[in-house]
Amino acid sequence: MKSAGPVTFAVILGLAGTARAQAQTEDEPEIPEVEKPMAPPPEIRTAVADGALLPSTLAPRVGATAGVALGFAGYDGARSAPIGSATAEVRVWGPFAVRGGVEYSSARKEGRPTIGGRVQLLRQNKHGVDGSVSVFYRPEGFTEAEGEIESFVSLGRRWERVSVFGNLVYGQDPEGNERDAEVRFASLYGVGRWSFGLDSRLRFAIGTQKGTMAAAEPKFDLLAGPVASATVGPVAFFAMGGPSVLKVTNGTATGIAALGGVGSVF
């Protein structure tokens, strides 16, 4: 029984130490969780602000994401024909990307493939503007029903909410019989997941047109109007509508063009 005293004393000390530790833990204030930094804007909103989902104007930034895909469909009142395309662009390496898709041919009334390459040469953080050069094969040009090679020079600049983009385009058929030029311009203003602005395209034939169908070929056309988009998760929905004009040798046709589409990044 004499040994029971030290053992009892040791147990009491242990219980007292445990109680003291628990009391200190309860008395200590809780350490607040470190506030996590705000997540960066979703990539889809950045793509919209960069002009990557515009139906007409080609964005100057290349390779901001691994890839982007978009498609739209609508109706051109001046041509009295449907319009539409589906396009995907994939970054190959650094500022280089490959772009391909399908465009609806109003002459053949079917979708036809298009493919090309892009490279970004100027960056806003270094040169003050973004700039890129692109070359495409298109199945149907402005006056080239059998296809053309089209070259783009794209420039643009982004501020906090406002983006401005412009394209100069030259196209001709492989034989050099038909040539055309284009000027495209777009501007966007972003508010949260919404974006509003203008997209436009003016095309005109240049040089002396040749061939038996030269008299019936277009001289110039214009498609312009307000464009709006909204992002929902990783997807952006956009719509555009406005006047369209088509001038041929025999006269000028006017109408309203409207389209809607969807795009995403990956």
Q: DSSP label at 214?
A: G
- Sequence length of the chain is 266
pLDDT at residue number 178: 81
CA distances from 156 to 14, 137, 181 (A): 73, 23, 19
- CA 142 to mean position of chain CA atoms: 23
Q: Quick one: pLDDT at residue 174?
A: 78
Confidence at residue 217, expressed as pLDDT on a 0 to 100 scale: 73
Among residues 83, 81, 77, 89, which one has the least CA distance to residue 56? 83
Q: What is the pLDDT of residue 211?
A: 57
Q: CB of 49 within 8 A of CB of 188?
A: yes
Beta bridge partners of 153: 133, 168
pLDDT profile of the chain (266 residues), mean per 10: 43 43 46 46 88 97 94 96 96 96 83 94 97 92 75 97 97 82 97 97 81 68 97 97 92 96 96
Structure-token pair, residue 190: 């972003």
pLDDT at 106: 76
Domains and CATH numbers, the chain: 43-265 (2.40.160.40)
Q: What is the pLDDT of residue 12?
A: 39
Alpha helices of 65-183 — where are they, by DSSP H?
124-127
Q: What is the pLDDT of residue 16?
A: 43
pLDDT at 208: 64
The predicted pLDDT at position 41 comes to 53
Beta bridge partners of 68: 89, 265
